Amino acid sequence: MPTPIILDCDPGHDDVFAIWLAAAHPAIDLRAITAVAGNGHIADTTRNALVACTVAGITDVPVARGAERPLVQELSIADWIHGANALGGPELPEPEIALDDREALALMRDVVAGSTQPVTIVATGPLTNVALFVGRHPDLLPRIARVIWMGGSTGRGNVAAYAEFNAWTDPEAIQIVLDSGVPFTMVGLNIAHQALITADVRSRVAAAGTRMGAFGAALLEYFCAAYEKAEGMAEGPLHDPITVAMIADPAVATIVRTRLDIELTGTETRGATCVDLLGVLGRQANAEVALDLDVDRFWNLIEGAVRALD
Ligand code: RIB
Ligand code: CA
């Protein structure tokens, strides 16, 4: 039985591959895509979700617009990585998919309330939409199987010394989701930086020989150039699709159950995901954290998705 999921995202180059893998893999039933502000402004991330569907020929998944800013701090987009429109590189086609009439929270509500199976929420951007949803619909929490989120890190950050971008953008949202008690899995930079986009990966995507393969290769080229300039990493990390891969093929990553706390007030550490891997604090475990990636298995899933769609 395929796993029903909602994919909440801020496309974003790596978010696009998460959308494609979620739509392509037979073990996943992609029920909805919701956009959130993060990598870009909400108008851009929403359009980019529609573009990702258009390029891949995904026509049967509702796409809805979500939160335009984090719960507390001002939005600061990741344009130095993703570009001003949040999907720099290839020319973006006009979306051939219409935006759903519902806002993101209404679409999430309808999908969760209407599902005969508990729904997994996959989040690859700031957790703003997810936090608003769990706050507005506490009665639906038992119908959420888990939240699996790309964000945070067991180590250093990427937008601040100890804060990863999705966590840094809306740390209050993480606290709300953790406090809700919904089963929570963190897929942080520690594992994401094992998913490095090598020249071989780029050529495998391009070799699909389709519109989607060419679009995907152009995204990877732009993304890697941005990482080279920003972090001296010519092989950028394709963070987001690891969340989807872990649902499609759980053997792709190892996980540990541990204690996760989020720093909300630190002068230099706001947004840090504090993962007590050694258990030294003696606090109750409240999350799963992904640790090691089966890199070949992961890239086979990505290549398979690019070849399966379009
Ligand atoms: O820090 C990496 C995360 O921030 C990824 O989800 C990327 O798309 C950006 O949203
Ligand atoms: Ca993202």
193 is annotated as an active-site residue: no
Which of 25, 82, 193, 239 is the catalytic position? Answer: 239
Side chain identity at 101, as an amino acid letter? D
Residue ranges with CB less than 5 Å from ion ligand 2: 10, 12, 15, 124-125, 240
User: What pLDDT score does 204 carry?
Assistant: 98
User: What pLDDT score does 140 carry?
Assistant: 98
Residues 139-163 as b or e (16 or more Cβ within 10 Å = b): ebeebbbbbbbbbbbbeebbbbebb
List Cβ neighbours of 143 (8 Å cut-off, separation of 6 or more). 112, 113, 115, 118, 119
**Domain assignment of residue 104, given as a range:** 3-308
Closest CA to 217 of 128, 307, 130: 307
287: domain CATH number?
A: 3.90.245.10
Number of structural domains the chain divides into: 1
Of 39, 82, 130, 164, the one to substitute when testing ligand 1's pocket (max ligand atoms within 8 A of C-beta) is 39
The model's pTM is 0.98
* Ligand 2: centre distance to CA 18 (Å): 9
pLDDT per residue rounded down to tens, the chain (310 residues): 999 999 999 999 999 999 999 999 999 999 999 999 999 999 999 999 999 999 999 999 999 999 999 999 999 999 999 999 999 999 999 999 999 999 999 999 999 999 999 999 999 999 999 999 999 999 999 999 999 999 999 999 999 999 999 999 999 999 999 999 999 999 999 999 999 999 999 999 999 999 999 999 999 999 999 999 999 999 999 999 999 999 999 999 999 999 999 999 999 999 999 999 999 999 999 999 999 999 999 999 999 999 999 7
